Amino acid sequence: MGFRGLRSALLISAAPLFAASPAWAEEASDDRDYLPETIVVTGARDTYALDDGSTGTKTPTPLIEVPQTVAFITVDQLQDQSIRQLGEALRYVPGISMETGEGHRDEIFIRGQESTADFYLDGLRDDAQYYRSLYNIERIEILKGANALIFGRGGGGGVVNRVSKTARLNGNEASVDGSVDSFGAWAILGDVTTRLSEDAAIRLNATYEEFNSNRDFYDGRFIGISPTTTVQLGEATRLIATYSYDDDERLVDRGNPADGSGPLRGFRDTLFGEPGFNRTEAETHIARARLEHEFSSSLSANATLQFADYDKAYQNIVPEGLRNAGADVEFSGYRDTQTRQNWIAQANLVWQMETGGLDHTILAGVEATWQESNNGRANAAFDNGTGGTTSRVTLPLDSVFDFPAISLTAPVRDRDSELEVLSAYLQDQIAIGEHIEIIAGLRWDRFDLKTIEQLNGNRGDRVDEKVSPRFGLVVKASPQLSVYASYAESFLPQAGDQFFLLSPGDTEFEPEKFTNYEIGLKWAPREKVLLSAALFQLDRTNTKGPDPDNPGFTALVGESRTKGLEFNLVGEITPQLHANIGYTYLDGEITSTSSFGAEGLRLQQLPKHQITAWTRYDFTEAFGIGLGVIYQDEQFASFSNTVTLPDYLRIDAAAYWDVTDRIAVQLNIENLLDANYFPSAHGDNNIQPGKPLSARIGVRFEL
């Protein structure tokens, strides 16, 4: 079988990485699928979708030929689990640990690397600090390991990409979902697609959600509206335009303080804060237009322009720890505001060609980013009862806290930043016969960051130019089986992943560097089953630390290393059984003293063992059950390695009943055995208790 024949045989394996596949995709069937839908060839093309189809390579590449670990969660699995928020979905991905994000944002660890910014929407950066809803999302892709060639700066441990629902040209569809849980939280979602003509369609996804939980005083609401249109501008040209408006308000819950070397127990429902003060509001607008054109069956191009506007404010009272032998709790607090506007322009050219008996898939691309951000902060001040205020207050440990009057100080932070990034990248995928493929490429980034602290005039300006390589070797024993080895790099400027401030002292330092080495195996024993396994090593270098040759000075001497093993089985195991099962072993430590901690300390929130499994079994066409398992080994809450989050086992369950062809009812139970567990933290004294046993019942109408 030749190069193009092999690729045609691997359509189902390619599907997980087709971040923009709706451009040429049609609905395959109504069957549930824990692998993304099959890509169907249309027209006279002798290969599938010649567009920016693969998130891992930006070319039409089957997953089995991508030399990188990739995990995914399809919309069918999200519906089966009744999951609404990105953070809840990622708990079912081994190798990812959830940070509490201070109770107001998505924050994750991938392979031991913490990030608030390595989030993407349809392959473009979505890096502000907020909670991401899934009402308009087709699937979630998690690409692990450093890979700056595709994603640019950051992404040291990997990235999370959400693939949007878009309008399809194959008919009219409509559905409504409603659900309510045992805490009183409820949600309603609508999804309508209308075909305007043979060449145009629109789709509208919208949701309204009310929040509640076991945590005292917890409440909030979310509004999401996302229209999208697809227009065929001729036989070989297509335009996809999308817009989303998200409006989120909720209580900020910073979790519980530590009690010695572990979490404080016996206060599962207690809010360690002030319910009238602990609030967050986030308003997000994202608009995007993508133009795709096929010059021939071997040459295609696409261009995308995205504008995003983020407006965020949160304020919270924060537990600083127990005092007086555990009888009291000390608190502080603050209000933080963040605004950001992003413009991102990206263009790609994909050319499939043959030279000297070798098949090439060449990617050439450019990307430009313009970003303006502001971050302000004022501290909380507590009435001290004598006409003054204090920055901290200590109160008796109780189930409800009686705070004195709270006011805000004058601003203590007012940071403006301007970021301009220009990137160019070139990649070649070379097929040598039927069994060998090589992927090699380079990305050049010019990173121009200007920041100023308005309160004191301190400026931090720096320009970095970095070249990031990627190399991979794929050996295909058969069309269904491959083994691979890969090397890739990424970098992160010293301003951190949000770029609010680059201090004057940091302007002299080169960016941090992430280097990923990986070997792996991917096997598709059947059309709808994929098994993958990988061994990897991730090195982080150029981290700031104390200069051993100049006491009192800082140098780029800090290093850390994470080693691990990953395993994943996903798909239709039998016609009745769907599953997504994973296991990860992670071992990571600081190998050279840095600003994070001393040499020999284990990386924070890095469980040694993780097991995740979600399965659905259909007894009949109308009735099925689901079962989920999450096991997370013990982990340190911070780099201090003094507070340990205990290991835990959480079991979830579900039942499904199709009342008619158009009406379905499902029941989801979270934490079936009512385990008392602590899945995440933000430092040693903001530890989040897991939810107790709860149930959600939902009804879905297909109109």
Strands 119-121 and 158-164, sheet pairing: parallel
Tell me the per-residue pLDDT of 640-692, one tens digit each, with 9 for 90 and over: 999 999 999 999 999 999 999 999 999 999 999 999 999 999 999 999 999 99
| Domain residue extents for the chain | 3-702
Whole-angstrom distance, CA of residue 609 vs CA of residue 618: 30
The pLDDT tens digits of the residues spanning 108-135 come to 999 999 999 999 999 999 999 999 999 9
Nearest Cα neighbor of 510 from 555, 469, 547, 546 is: 555
What is the percent of the chain where pLDDT is above 70? 93
Q: Inform me whether the pLDDT recorded for 17 exceeds 50.
A: no
pLDDT at 16: 30
How many CA within 13 A on the CB side of residue 623?
A: 2
| Residue 10 pLDDT | 30
What pLDDT band is residue 390 in, cutting at 50, 70 and 90?
A: very high
Among 54-58, 467-471, 641-645, which stretch is predicted with the lowest mean pLDDT? 54-58
DSSP letter, residue 438: E
Q: Please spell the DSSP secondary structure of 348-414, one letter per residue.
A: EEEEEEEETTEEEEEEEEEEEEEEEEEEEEEEEEEE-SSS-EES-EEEE--SS--PPPEEEEEEEEE
Q: Does 35 score more than 90 pLDDT?
A: no
- Residue identified by tokens 């290969």 is 47
Neighbours of 620 (CB within 10 A): 9
- Indicate the pLDDT class of residue 37, thresholds 50, 70 and 90: low
Question: Residues 6 or more apart from 683 whose CB is under 8 A from it?
Answer: 637, 638
Please name which of 530, 589, 525 lies closest in space to residue 560, comparing C-alpha atoms.
Answer: 589
Average pLDDT estimate for 277-298: 97
Answer yes or no: are the C-beta atoms of 187 and 207 closer than 8 Å. Answer: yes
Residue 55 pLDDT exceeds 90: no
Say what the pLDDT of residue 44 is: 29
Check whether domain 3-702 has CATH 2.40.170.20, yes or no: yes
C-alpha span between 493 and 578 (Å, rounded): 42
Dist. CA 149–CA 631, nearest whole Å: 33
| Whole-number pLDDT of residue 619 | 97
Q: Which two tokens stand for residue 324?
A: 């007086």
Please state, rounded to an integer, the average pLDDT across all residues of the chain: 91
Question: CB of 16 within 8 A of CB of 63?
Answer: yes
- In this prediction, residue 32 carries a pLDDT of 79
Q: Is the pLDDT of residue 29 over 50?
A: no
Q: Residue 54: what pLDDT?
A: 75
pLDDT the model gives residue 56: 86
Cβ–Cβ < 8 Å for 672, 693: yes
- On the question of pLDDT at 288 being above 50, the answer is yes
Q: Residue 477: exposed, middle, or buried by beta-carbon count in 10 A (0-12, 13-18, 19+)?
A: exposed
C-alpha closest to that of 534 among 557, 561, 566, 562: 566
Give the pLDDT band (50/70/90) at residue 583.
very high
Q: What is the DSSP track for 87-140?
A: HHHHTTSTTEEE--GGGSS--EEETTEEESS-EEETTEE--SSS--B-TTEEEE
**Mean pLDDT across 568-579:** 93
How crowded is residue 201: how many other Cβ atoms within 10 Å of its Cβ?
23
pTM of the shown model: 0.92
pLDDT at residue 3, rounded to an integer: 35
